[in-house]
């Protein structure tokens, strides 16, 4: 076990409970009404304040910076959001070409209509400069091989004024403490790069 994860095991202050329990709820862009008002308010507050529980970023030799659970998560728990500058009305390739400050490794294209891009190049969101955006550290894992343990989901919070849209990572299965959190980038380059690490 890597030294940073060993230190996390001994740091009791990092183990806080209360993930957003969405057991039995289908989280999807097409069914936002499946989250009740309390779940939507909790999710919105955590996205706004980046106040996520049970996760930490660490550096592992073979992966670099990554996201690790510090507590147990149940299948379908919402773990963290993918947070950054939202860009609408431009194609992904054009945005990367026209925006020198954007790191395409941290930009996620959401293809639901209308499509948009979340640019998480910066660790600190311009709207919430005092809070670190941890979702950007989730590394790739091929879902076709069963290695991915989280998945991204586009959600409209239709009970919150303004109907904000957020992208969250939810657990694909029960996740034990001190497990690296990984999702499928659905990108051939990433799949080739990470193939040897799975």
Instruction: Please give the DSSP secondary-structure letter assigned to residue 52.
Output: -
Q: What is the mean pLDDT of residues 71-88?
A: 89
Compute the radius of gyration of the chain from its Cα atoms. 16
Residues 6+ apart with CB under 8 A from 169: 78, 79, 80, 81, 82, 135, 138, 150, 151, 152, 153, 181, 183
Higher-pLDDT residue of 7 and 56 is 56
9-56 per-position pLDDT tens digit? 666 554 444 555 554 444 443 344 478 888 888 889 888 888 888 898
Q: Residue 189: its pLDDT value, please?
A: 53
Residue 53 CB coordination number (10 Å) = 17
CATH architecture group of domain 3-79+131-197: Beta Complex (2.170)
Per-residue pLDDT band for 195 (boundaries 50, 70, 90) equals low
112-168 per-position pLDDT tens digit? 767 888 888 888 877 767 778 899 999 888 777 788 999 988 888 888 999 888 889
Return d(Cα 182, Cα 151) in angstroms, integer. Answer: 8
Kindly list the domain boundaries of the chain, sorted by start residue: 3-79+131-197, 85-121
Tell me: cis bond preceding 114? Omega within 30 of 0 counts: yes
Per-residue pLDDT band for 81 (boundaries 50, 70, 90) equals very high
Per-residue pLDDT band for 181 (boundaries 50, 70, 90) equals very high
92-114 per-position pLDDT tens digit? 889 999 999 998 888 888 877 67
Q: Residue 26: its pLDDT value, please?
A: 42
């Amino acid at each position: 076990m890597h030294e940073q994860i060993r230190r996390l095991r001994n740091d009791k202050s990092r183990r806080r409970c209360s993930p957003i329990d969405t057991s039995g709820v289908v989280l999807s862009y097409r069914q936002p009404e499946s989250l009740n008002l309390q779940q939507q308010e909790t999710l919105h507050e955590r996205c706004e304040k980046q106040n996520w529980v049970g996760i930490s970023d660490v550096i592992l030799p073979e992966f670099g910076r990554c996201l690790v659970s510090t507590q147990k998560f149940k299948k379908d728990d919402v773990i963290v959001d993918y947070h950054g500058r939202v860009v609408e009305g431009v194609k992904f390739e054009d945005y990367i070409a026209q925006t020198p400050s954007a790191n395409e490794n941290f930009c996620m294209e959401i293809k639901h209509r209308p499509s948009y891009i979340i640019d998480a190049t910066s660790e600190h969101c311009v709207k919430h400069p005092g809070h670190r955006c941890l979702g950007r550290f989730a590394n790739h894992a091929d879902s076709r091989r069963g290695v991915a343990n989280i998945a991204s989901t586009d959600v409209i919070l239709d009970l919150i004024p303004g109907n904000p849209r957020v992208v969250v990572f939810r657990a694909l299965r029960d996740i034990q403490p001190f497990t690296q959190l990984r999702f499928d980038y659905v990108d051939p380059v990433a799949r080739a790069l990470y193939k040897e690490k799975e």
